[in-house]
């Protein structure tokens, strides 16, 4: 039997759940649905790219298990996190719902998880759902923590709810089907987790980079499990993101999000923007005397070796900074940013000045 790692997320009020990590776990999905919602119909939400590759096999597993599965296939990408797609999912739930009840299964990347989770949070004031992330980014980030939502014309994730899954199933064999660029983009979040929480984990990433970029099962299982353990502990302490504890998870994101907007969404993968953004944050940390230039170079070398961007190309430092000023963390001419005190320890700086931020960005821009 293939090894399975279980990471519990311990929450009050019966909202806790397990994260199961291993190879071939999609085979266990029908039984999980039956256990969580006996007799209920399941609505599996996925995007067309994932459906083309995996849906037929998943449907066969449910048929053989005698579990009633229906599907909703959405267009791939952020464009599906809309009111229209959300309403379509609610309509689909009403179509298949009956006295036996219904359970949602998010089978895909972060978009499928956010959209299906939000529909599950709001249909009949909440129905159970299962997360089955198919990308590395979704495994180590969006599938854990209960944040669900959609985009509005005014901005990303402006409509949403906290709704914890009943179970997260991470089948590592699915990651082996990802295009290399998609895997690397997800790997940026793995690196981020190590840098802000765990020096020994970062050393493991340095030693096992080749295996991780090939999605080798043993190395990937260890990396994903450690990310989930660390994320789970944060969620347990600050489930509803009210205490500011989750702030450190934004390491590299303030710079990265601004660059994504300045370049135009779609030019960079989210993880690619975060990779270069982490180097901006590392540079700023060094400028403030928190870490040495040698530490910055060590981080740079690992990100470069993983094939991720170490610079932003095609936009100016001023354009990135202008976008940063729109961030909610910018106030009274200063920006709250997450910096490194050392590898494995992040701190939040409340007093980063425009000159400091611009200098950090300029060092990572190649026009």
**Tens digits of residue pLDDT in 242-299:** 998 989 999 999 999 899 888 887 788 889 999 999 999 999 999 999 999 999 999 9
Give me the pLDDT at residue 1, please.
56
Give me the pLDDT at residue 183, please.
97
- Asked whether 293 and 246 are in contact (CB, 8 A), the reply is no
Give me the pLDDT at residue 330, please.
66
Give me the pLDDT at residue 332, please.
64
DSSP alpha helices (H): ranges in 24-128? 29-36, 48-50, 56-65, 83-96, 110-122
Instruction: Give 339's pLDDT tier (boundaries 50, 70, 90).
Output: very high
Instruction: Give 143's pLDDT tier (boundaries 50, 70, 90).
Output: very high
Give me the pLDDT at residue 3, please.
87
Give me the pLDDT at residue 353, please.
87
| Cα–Cα distance measured from residue 225 to residue 218, given in angstroms and rounded to the nearest whole number | 11
Question: What is the residue-averaged pLDDT of the chain?
Answer: 94
Instruction: Give 347's pLDDT tier (boundaries 50, 70, 90).
Output: very high
**Is residue 83's pLDDT more than 60?**
yes
Read off the pLDDT of each residue in 130-144 and give the average, rounded to a whole number. Answer: 97
Read off the pLDDT of each residue in 173-202 and give the average, rounded to a whole number. Answer: 97
pLDDT digits (tens, 9 = 90+) for 160-174: 999 999 999 999 999
Give me the pLDDT at residue 335, please.
79
**How many other β-carbons are positioned within 10 Å of the β-carbon of residue 354?**
14
- Asked whether 24 and 173 are in contact (CB, 8 A), the reply is yes
pTM: 0.93
Going by C-beta distance under 8 Å and a sequence separation of 6 or more, which residues neighbour residue 305? 209
Residues 237-265 as b or e (16 or more Cβ within 10 Å = b): eebebeeeebbbbbbbbbbbbbbbbbbee
Going by C-beta distance under 8 Å and a sequence separation of 6 or more, which residues neighbour residue 59? 69, 71
Domain with CATH 1.20.1090.10 in the chain: 188-214+251-366
Strands 345-352 vs 334-342: parallel, antiparallel or unpaired: antiparallel
Helix, strand or coil, per DSSP, at residue 145 = coil
Instruction: Give 2's pLDDT tier (boundaries 50, 70, 90).
Output: confident
Please choose, from the candidates 94, 95, 125, 129, the residue with its C-alpha nearest in 3D space to the C-alpha of residue 113: 129
DSSP alpha helices (H): ranges in the chain? 29-36, 48-50, 56-65, 83-96, 110-122, 136-137, 172-175, 180-197, 199-207, 209-213, 217-237, 253-263, 270-287, 293-305, 317-324, 354-362
Say which CATH architecture domain 188-214+251-366 belongs to: Up-down Bundle (1.20)
DSSP alpha helices (H): ranges in 136-179? 136-137, 172-175
Going by C-beta distance under 8 Å and a sequence separation of 6 or more, which residues neighbour residue 203? none
pLDDT digits (tens, 9 = 90+) for 97-121: 998 999 999 999 999 999 999 999 9
**Is residue 128's pLDDT more than 70?**
yes
| Cα–Cα distance measured from residue 134 to residue 109, given in angstroms and rounded to the nearest whole number | 6
Q: Which residues pair with 178 in a beta bridge?
A: none
Helix axes 180-197, 293-305, angle to 10 degrees: 150
Domain with CATH 3.40.50.1970 in the chain: 4-178
DSSP H or E stretch at residue 45: strand 41-47
**Is residue 327's pLDDT more than 80?**
no
Helix axes 217-237, 180-197, angle to 10 degrees: 50
CATH placement of domain 4-178: 3.40.50.1970
Instruction: Give 331's pLDDT tier (boundaries 50, 70, 90).
Output: low
Give me the pLDDT at residue 78, please.
86
Give me the pLDDT at residue 328, please.
63
The 8-class DSSP code of residue 35 comes to H
Please choose, from the candidates 224, 45, 262, 192, the residue with its C-alpha nearest in 3D space to the C-alpha of residue 132: 45
Longest dimension (CA), the chain: 63
| Cα–Cα distance measured from residue 245 to residue 232, given in angstroms and rounded to the nearest whole number | 12
């Amino acid at each position: 039997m293939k090894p399975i790692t279980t990471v519990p997320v311990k929450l009050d009020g019966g909202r806790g759940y397990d994260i199961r990590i291993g190879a071939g776990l999609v085979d266990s999905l029908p039984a999980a649905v039956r256990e969580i919602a006996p007799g209920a119909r399941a609505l599996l939400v996925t995007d067309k790219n994932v459906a083309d590759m995996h849906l037929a096999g998943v449907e066969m597993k449910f048929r053989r298990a005698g579990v009633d599965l229906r599907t909703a296939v959405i267009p791939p990408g952020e464009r599906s996190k809309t009111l229209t797609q959300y309403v379509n999912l609610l309509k689909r739930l009403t179509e298949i719902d009956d006295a036996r009840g219904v359970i949602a299964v998010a089978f895909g990347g972060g978009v499928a998880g956010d959209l299906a989770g939000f529909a599950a949070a709001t249909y009949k004031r909440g129905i159970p759902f299962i997360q089955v992330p198919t990308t590395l980014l979704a495994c180590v980030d969006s599938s854990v923590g209960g944040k669900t939502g959609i985009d509005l014309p005014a901005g990303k994730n402006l409509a949403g709810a906290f709704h914890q899954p009943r179970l997260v199933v991470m089948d590592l064999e699915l990651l082996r089907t990802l295009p290399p660029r998609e895997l690397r983009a997800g790997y940026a979040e793995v690196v981020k987790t190590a840098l802000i929480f765990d020096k020994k984990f970062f050393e493991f990433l340095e030693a096992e980079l080749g295996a991780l970029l090939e999605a080798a099962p043993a190395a990937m299982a260890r990396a994903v499990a450690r990310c989930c353990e660390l994320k789970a502990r944060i969620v347990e302490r600050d489930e509803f993101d009210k205490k500011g504890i989750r702030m450190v998870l934004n390491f590299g994101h303030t710079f990265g999000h601004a660059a994504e907007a300045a370049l135009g969404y779609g030019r960079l993968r989210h993880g690619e923007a975060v990779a270069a953004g982490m180097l901006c944050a590392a540079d700023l940390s060094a400028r403030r005397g928190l870490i040495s230039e040698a530490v910055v170079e060590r981080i740079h070398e690992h990100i470069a070796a993983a094939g991720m961007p170490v610079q932003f190309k095609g936009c100016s430092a001023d354009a990135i900074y202008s976008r940063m000023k729109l961030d909610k963390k910018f106030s009274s001419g200063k920006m709250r940013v997450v910096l490194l005190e050392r590898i494995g320890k992040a701190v939040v700086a409340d007093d980063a000045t425009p000159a400091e931020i611009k200098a950090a960005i300029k060092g990572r821009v190649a026009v």
